Every structure is written in C-alpha cells, then in structure tokens.
A and B are shown apart, each in its own frame.
Chain A
C-alpha cells in the first residue's frame, strides 16, 4: 500500500506526495504528458530529442547536471511513445535544489544553438548504438509501421528516420516547448521522508509563478480494426533467425488489461511458463522465446518474440507459437496455474515498493490514468481475473487477421 496525498496548484500542476520515513533519499519525479505519439509524422523523434535538450541549460541555470551532482543527487529521464519523464533522487537535505532546477526549466529553456547541434549528434549516435549497430536493433522500427497504419504508435521514440533529427530547427524546439512543457501538462511526485505541508510550501514557492499554457488538445486517430494478417520478411547480417508476432490489444485503461497481462505471464513469466516448457524444452523449436505486452497507454500490442533453434524453419517455429495460442483459446487455464501467475504478480508488486523512485513513478503513471490510487488497486484487479476471462480475452486478441508477423532471417 503506497500512501499519498494530492493537491493542485492554481496553474494546474498536479502534485502527489508519498511519505516514506525509512529512507534518507528523496525521489523527485516530474512527468510531462507528452510523448512520441504527439509528434507529427514528418518530425518524428522530436519528443526524445527534446528530452536531451532539457539538459542544455535553462533561463537562470546554465548547467543542470552540475547542480544535481553538487547536491549529491542522480538524475535521468526517458521518453516513451506516451510520456516524457524526468527524475532526480537526492539526499533529503538537498531536496530544494530539485525544485529550483525543474521549475526553472519548466519556466523556460535557454534554447542555445550549440546545445541543439551537439544533442542532435548525440541522438544520432544513440540511434546507431541502440538501433542500427546492434543485431536485431531494428526489430521495433520494422514492427511498429507494420502493425499501425494510422495511430502515431507507428514510429518508435527514436524516430522513423535519422533525417528527422538532422532537420530539427531551433524554432521547432521552441514551439514544442511552449506547447507541451507546461504546469498544466505535468504531474510532480515527491517520495521520501517528507510531509505534504513542506512540499506545499516548496511547490508554491518554485512552481506557482509559471503560467498555465495552451496545451494542444490531444486528438489522435484511432487505429482501425485490422482485418487481414500482415507479414514482413527481412534478411540481415545476424547469426540466428528470429520471429516476432504482434497482435493488437486493449488500452491501459481498459478492464481487459489485467487479463491480457496475465496471459503474457502464463506464457512466459519464469522458467515454469508455457512457452519455455513447451517450445524451448520439449519441442526445442526455440532457444529462447518471450511473450510480452508493450505497456502503452493507448491500444497497444501483445508480442511474441523468439530465436529459432538451429535447423528449425520459420514455418515450424510459427506453428509452435500458434499451437500454444490455440490452447489458450480453447482450454480453460487451471486454477493452479492461474494462482501461480497471480502470486508472482503480487510479490513483484511488493518488491517494487522497496524503491522510492519506483513508487514515485507508479504514482505518476496512475495519476495520468486518472487516479493515483490505481497503483494500490492493481493487486485486487489482477486477483479478480478468472480462467473464463483469460479464455475470452485470448480469443479476442489472438485472431489471425489481427496478427503482424516479422520473419527476420539470418543472411
């Protein structure tokens, strides 16, 4: 159970405070409700490039990192298709530095041309290091546009193409900032040995004079229902064939989400899971195979991804996956198996509460979903899933015409 209190500033900034008296550290997590899905299709990769620019100095503070380091803190950020999240963990007695830093860059960035030039290069190197110069690094760059034809989930956060990063201008940067980096588009969570009253004082002091901004109303096109199976074959200089299958699934807010997540656990959480036992150990079709959900806010994807054993054809491998899918669609999961995956989820939930930053991020995400308390209800929602529900959801998702298959052949 994660305790919390919530308040809002007049400019719309939502603030959530979690008290944990056992730690000398405080987690300061600032989530902006903007991600790669808010980009235009001709300027992809921008939300992520922007995240880099956030460290290039703000109106009154030239060097962000230096302040964090002097305060004995650590900071980082990540961009997803849905959100951009910034966090600092630092010793409690230096907490106010985090307020000064984050409020100053919410107020205004420095927008220096040098920062844009350098970060553009850094992001291009990141693109190469993680996506192009890694075996299988481009899998998701291929799968997304195969599965999405309309919704902006069709590109990855790094972007569709390096040229979009190369072409970004300082004007683009400024307009993105004033559109999305606004108190009324952010959620601040503080977790640590703090009281709500002291956080109220600090939040008022540092954030209240930042004006509310006109955040564009999000109006994303819905991905139309897929009516025909799609496939893509590529050949790359990699040592081993791999196969990916992606099926459209429900959104994070949908009540079917919990059953869907448990399906991925039944299939592939732990060494006693079905895919490992059947496809790796018994049939030896794969050396390794996973089933997982993408974790997106809007209607996302349910993935299978496996490395084929030597001598196994794509057709045999795919038939193995299909047979496992078919079992889920036709046979009720036993109570024993269902309670096993539920126990795993419950204990994972408990272990995640060991870490204040985890707790802060979970609260922020829950707030974005509509209620910070959702994080405390999750265990019950998982527990409530029945075998019949699993079968019903499996039948809804795992339809051949809803599938997107990537055959990734070794040259």
Chain B
C-alpha cells in the first residue's frame, strides 16, 4: 500500500513574474492622460484621479489632508447632502486619501450607473466650495482623532521620527494640535485652486471598462486646466543623527522607530536595499521577527521596510515592545543590523526571501483593480511596469557579498536615528 511520506518536503515551483495586462491610454485635448486596464468578469469599475496634491506641496500643516477630505462636502452646484445621497443611492463607494506625494480620489461603481455617478463625482471634486458648516464638523472630528491618537505611543514615535529625519523637507512637516485652531476654510479653498482646480493629475480606469467610458470622461475631464508637474527635487541632505527618548507614564508598551533618510526607486542600489529590509524585517519569518517575537516574546510584531517617496525614501524599523524590555530590544535590533554588515547571508535565506518577494508581487498584481493601483504608484515615481523587469534582473543576480556591501553602505549604526516613546529605562 502506498504510504504518504509527510516528512519529505515537496519541490518548490519557480514563481514567474505576473503577466501584466495591457495598459491603454487616451490623451484628451487638454493633455490629460487616462490609462485603462481592462479586465474582470464583473460589471464594476474603479476610477482613480491622482493629483499632485500631497502634503509635500502644502504651505501649512493639515491643508492637504483637510482639502482632500472635503472634496465631496459641497460644490457650487450641489450641497454635501445632495452629493452623498446620490452617490449612496447608486450603491457607489468613494475613497479620499492623501500621502506625502499625492492625493488619491477614487470611485467604485457598478457599470450600470457609470453614466450617472461619474459626473456627480467629478463635478463635486472640480467645483468643491468648502462650506463653513461641513468644514467645522470635519475639523472637530479630526481634532478629536488627533487628541486620541496622541495618546498612542506609536503615533508620537512616528511623528517624532519623520519630523526629525525630514527636518529640512516638507515631508517632515508634522501637524500639532494647535494647527487645528488656525486652519481656515480659505486655506483649503486656496489649496484647491492651486492643486485641484488647476492641477497636475492623471486618471486611471480599471475593471470591465464601459464602452462609452472615454466619451463620458472626456466630456468631464477634457477641459480641466492642467498645470505642469513640479520638478522632482531630490532630497539628500543628511539630518543630524539623534537618539530621542520621550518618556510616557503609565504605558504598558514602548514604541521604537529606528531608521534614516534613504534611497528612492531611481537609485541603482534601491532594489538591493529593499531586499535587505525584507530579510531583516519584511516578513513573518524575518530575522527581527524570529529574534524579538518568536525567540524572546518581547512584542506582538516588528518590521523593517524601505518607504518609497518621490523625493527621498526612508528606511525604518518599527515595533512596540514590552515596557521593561526596551534596552534588550534595542540591543537585539542593533545586533541584527550588525549581522547584516558583518556576516554573509546564507544562499538558502536569499532563495527563500526571493520566493517570498515574487509571491508578494504576484498577489499584489492579481486582477485589473490591483494592477491599476500598482501602475499609479509606479507613475508617481516616474516608472511603469518595466520596473518589474529590472527588479527581476536584480533578484536573479543577488549575491551575499553585494548585500553585505549594501548593509555597510546604507545601514551603518552611526547613521541611524532612534526614537523611543514610553518607558525609558
């Protein structure tokens, strides 16, 4: 009788780069680009407008975020209630978001209501007029959330960390509670005029593309006044390295951030550094997770990553650890960084992480919605799907010596900023 040999490991099949769907593009008379990624059986689609209206272009804290959050809160033509009633009545979903570089304005709709919902959505954004009533409500909501978040060690640590490493860049402009007292609806109006009404933006449509999509969108977007893209100014200034420890009484856990300003995706070493971050703390079986969580039980989670930003990315290690174990955790984190600089990474580990990374890419590109999201993020960094071809080449050529050299170049202990919020022993 056949006996199953459970102890025997099965062979691992190679994971190939995904097949990216064809990207089609229309350019309207004003020069606006609309990218289509057509795919899927369901009669639904996702429209995204990506504006160069992130926090980096704001003249004061909160301006970009509040302006974005109010895009559907009333326009010259319709009240907030009218806009929300209509969008909800057709079963559509909207999402408004801001990061350091871009504002993301998106709509998920059933295709059968595309013709009706899309004009309501786009006209609201274009003609937003920031009514005082809605502004006051939103400001109070955000003020309360800010006060609640300020109680969290992780929030304080994150703000302190980014505020410090990007001290000389708008990426480091961190809001404080007092900013809620001075921000006015006129600030949002001004920001809207500068970054939305006259805008540098791109649009993306994914899902099952309705046959009349181009016609509808050209009518709504084709006469939008476009501005030139701001030149990309790379930020290379080194900030002073610091160890900032902020005591917080009565807390059961302490938040730790360790890192520095680092590469952008255009730097030739970016891929290797990104890979090194995965080895260190980018997946469940990573070195930091194994050591700090699975071996010592000091935390629920710990991670390391390269954060992609247009003008200057950063490298950051992040965790919340048991209150009385901050010193032990710090010692072990630095020990793991030192190992990267002094010991060659075993081929087996490189192979494993390579498979993990390929699987991640495959999962992140599953379906037209997901691929459109990847594409717009690539575009923010002036890249396209060819990025993955370069990445594949780098992955194939990774070797332990090169990775160790990277660690010595970019992850020197003396270059890292350390922030701890909580119990300081």
| A residues at B contact (CB < 8 Å) | 22-25, 59-61, 63, 65-67, 69-75, 89-91, 93-94, 96-97, 100, 103-104, 107, 117-122, 124-126, 128-130, 132-136, 205-206, 209, 237-240, 269-273, 277, 280-281, 284, 287-288, 307, 309-310, 336, 339-340, 343-344, 346-348, 350-351, 353-354, 356
Nearest B residue (CB) for A343? B91
| Residue numbers in A under 8 Å from B362 (CB-CB) | 24-25, 72, 91
**Partner pick for A72 among B134, B153, B296, B359, CB 8 A cutoff:** B359
Please list 5 pairs of residues, one from A and one from B, whose beta carbons are closer than 8 Å in the complex, sorted by A's number. A22-B40, A69-B285, A237-B250, A240-B147, A339-B89
CA distance A236 to B388 in the complex (A): 50
Contact indicator B253/A70 (Cβ below 8 Å): no
CA distance A130 to B152 in the complex (A): 11
Contact indicator B366/A23 (Cβ below 8 Å): yes
The interface on chain B, measured as residues whose beta carbon lies within 8 A of the other chain's beta carbons, has a size of 74
| Residue numbers in A under 8 Å from B10 (CB-CB) | 96-97, 100
Within 8 A of A (CB), among B245-285: 250-253, 283-285
- Given known contacts A93-B15, A96-B10, A118-B295, what 19 new A-B pairs fall within 8 Å (CB)? A22-B39, A63-B285, A65-B284, A72-B355, A91-B13, A94-B12, A107-B6, A124-B297, A125-B299, A133-B253, A237-B250, A240-B147, A240-B148, A288-B141, A288-B145, A339-B89, A347-B91, A347-B93, A350-B42
Query: Does B115 lie at the interface of the complex (its beta carbon under 8 Å from any beta carbon of A)?
Result: no
CA distance A24 to B363 in the complex (A): 8
Q: How far is the CB of B241 from chain A (nearest CB, A)?
A: 28
Query: Does B391 lie at the interface of the complex (its beta carbon under 8 Å from any beta carbon of A)?
Result: no
CA distance A133 to B81 in the complex (A): 38
Query: Does B140 lie at the interface of the complex (its beta carbon under 8 Å from any beta carbon of A)?
Result: yes
| Residue numbers in A under 8 Å from B251 (CB-CB) | 133
Query: Does B4 lie at the interface of the complex (its beta carbon under 8 Å from any beta carbon of A)?
Result: yes
Known contacts A25-B362, A69-B285; A125 and B12 CB within 8 A of each other = no
Known contacts A122-B300, A238-B151, A288-B141; A128 and B253 CB within 8 A of each other = yes
Nearest B residue (CB) for A94? B13
CA distance A63 to B294 in the complex (A): 12
Contact indicator B4/A206 (Cβ below 8 Å): yes
CA distance A350 to B41 in the complex (A): 11
Contact indicator B110/A281 (Cβ below 8 Å): no
**Partner pick for A104 among B6, B92, B141, CB 8 A cutoff:** B6
CA distance A28 to B68 in the complex (A): 39
Contact indicator B359/A65 (Cβ below 8 Å): no
| Residue numbers in B under 8 Å from A107 (CB-CB) | 6
Query: Does B358 lie at the interface of the complex (its beta carbon under 8 Å from any beta carbon of A)?
Result: yes
| Residue numbers in B under 8 Å from A340 (CB-CB) | 85, 88-89
Contact indicator A288/B144 (Cβ below 8 Å): yes
**Partner pick for B367 among A23, A120, A129, A237, CB 8 A cutoff:** A23
Query: Does B215 lie at the interface of the complex (its beta carbon under 8 Å from any beta carbon of A)?
Result: no
Q: How far is the CB of B75 from chain A (nearest CB, A)?
A: 14
Contact indicator A125/B40 (Cβ below 8 Å): no
| Residue numbers in A under 8 Å from B353 (CB-CB) | 69
Nearest A residue (CB) for B153? A133
Contact indicator B297/A69 (Cβ below 8 Å): no
Q: How far is the CB of A56 from chain B (nearest CB, A)?
A: 9
Nearest A residue (CB) for B9? A67
Contact indicator A24/B18 (Cβ below 8 Å): yes
Contact indicator B148/A91 (Cβ below 8 Å): no
Contact indicator B4/A272 (Cβ below 8 Å): no
| Residue numbers in A under 8 Å from B152 (CB-CB) | 133-135
B-side interface mostly: mixed
Query: Does B322 lie at the interface of the complex (its beta carbon under 8 Å from any beta carbon of A)?
Result: yes
Known contacts A72-B362, A89-B363, A118-B295; A309 and B300 CB within 8 A of each other = no
**Partner pick for B355 among A70, A89, A270, A348, CB 8 A cutoff:** A70
**Partner pick for A25 among B89, B110, B363, CB 8 A cutoff:** B363
Within 8 A of A (CB), among B285-311: 285, 293-300
Nearest A residue (CB) for B7? A60
Q: How far is the CB of B14 from chain A (nearest CB, A)?
A: 8
Known contacts A307-B144, A346-B91; A74 and B360 CB within 8 A of each other = yes
| Residue numbers in B under 8 Å from A344 (CB-CB) | 88, 91
Contact with A along B301-338 (1 / 0, CB 8 A): 00000000000000000001110000000000000000
CA distance A284 to B353 in the complex (A): 52
| Residue numbers in B under 8 Å from A126 (CB-CB) | 300
Query: Does B387 lie at the interface of the complex (its beta carbon under 8 Å from any beta carbon of A)?
Result: no
Of the listed residues A60, A94, A96, A336, the one surrounded by the most CB atoms of chain B closer than 10 A to its CB is A94
CA distance A137 to B13 in the complex (A): 44
Known contacts A69-B285, A133-B153, A271-B84; A287 and B363 CB within 8 A of each other = no
Query: Does B204 lie at the interface of the complex (its beta carbon under 8 Å from any beta carbon of A)?
Result: no
Contact with A along B107-141 (1 / 0, CB 8 A): 01110000000000000000000000110010011
Query: Does B80 lie at the interface of the complex (its beta carbon under 8 Å from any beta carbon of A)?
Result: yes
Query: Does B44 lie at the interface of the complex (its beta carbon under 8 Å from any beta carbon of A)?
Result: yes
**Partner pick for A132 among B72, B134, B252, CB 8 A cutoff:** B252
CA distance A126 to B253 in the complex (A): 10
Query: Does B385 lie at the interface of the complex (its beta carbon under 8 Å from any beta carbon of A)?
Result: no
| Residue numbers in B under 8 Å from A346 (CB-CB) | 91
Contact with A along B144-188 (1 / 0, CB 8 A): 110110111100000000000000000000000000000000000
Contact indicator A133/B252 (Cβ below 8 Å): yes
| Residue numbers in A under 8 Å from B141 (CB-CB) | 280, 287-288
| Residue numbers in A under 8 Å from B359 (CB-CB) | 69, 71-74, 90-91
CA distance A206 to B322 in the complex (A): 40
Q: How far is the CB of B46 from chain A (nearest CB, A)?
A: 9
CA distance A100 to B7 in the complex (A): 9
Q: How far is the CB of A249 from chain B (nearest CB, A)?
A: 24
Q: How far is the CB of A349 from chain B (nearest CB, A)?
A: 10
The 4 closest A-B pairs by CB, nearest first: A121-B297, A72-B359, A343-B91, A347-B91
CA distance A150 to B10 in the complex (A): 48
Query: Does B402 lie at the interface of the complex (its beta carbon under 8 Å from any beta carbon of A)?
Result: no
Query: Does B235 lie at the interface of the complex (its beta carbon under 8 Å from any beta carbon of A)?
Result: no
Contact indicator A205/B252 (Cβ below 8 Å): no
Within 8 A of A (CB), among B19-70: 39-44
Query: Does B352 lie at the interface of the complex (its beta carbon under 8 Å from any beta carbon of A)?
Result: yes
Q: How far is the CB of B13 from chain A (nearest CB, A)?
A: 4
Contact indicator B356/A351 (Cβ below 8 Å): no
Q: How far is the CB of A109 from chain B (nearest CB, A)?
A: 13
Known contacts A135-B152, A277-B81; A343 and B4 CB within 8 A of each other = no
Q: How far is the CB of A194 from chain B (nearest CB, A)?
A: 15
Nearest A residue (CB) for B323? A128
Known contacts A205-B4, A239-B147; A117 and B297 CB within 8 A of each other = yes
Contact indicator B144/A118 (Cβ below 8 Å): no
Known contacts A271-B88, A272-B85, A347-B44; A125 and B298 CB within 8 A of each other = yes
Query: Does B369 lie at the interface of the complex (its beta carbon under 8 Å from any beta carbon of A)?
Result: yes
Contact indicator A72/B15 (Cβ below 8 Å): yes
Known contacts A23-B366, A100-B10, A121-B297; A347 and B358 CB within 8 A of each other = no
Contact indicator B151/A135 (Cβ below 8 Å): yes
Contact indicator B140/A22 (Cβ below 8 Å): no
| Residue numbers in A under 8 Å from B153 (CB-CB) | 133
| Residue numbers in A under 8 Å from B18 (CB-CB) | 24
Q: How far is the CB of A134 from chain B (nearest CB, A)?
A: 7
Nearest A residue (CB) for B143? A287
Q: How far is the CB of B8 from chain A (nearest CB, A)?
A: 8
**Partner pick for A284 among B41, B89, B137, B250, CB 8 A cutoff:** B137
Known contacts A100-B10, A107-B6; A287 and B140 CB within 8 A of each other = yes
Of the listed residues A23, A118, A129, the one surrounded by the most CB atoms of chain B closer than 10 A to its CB is A129
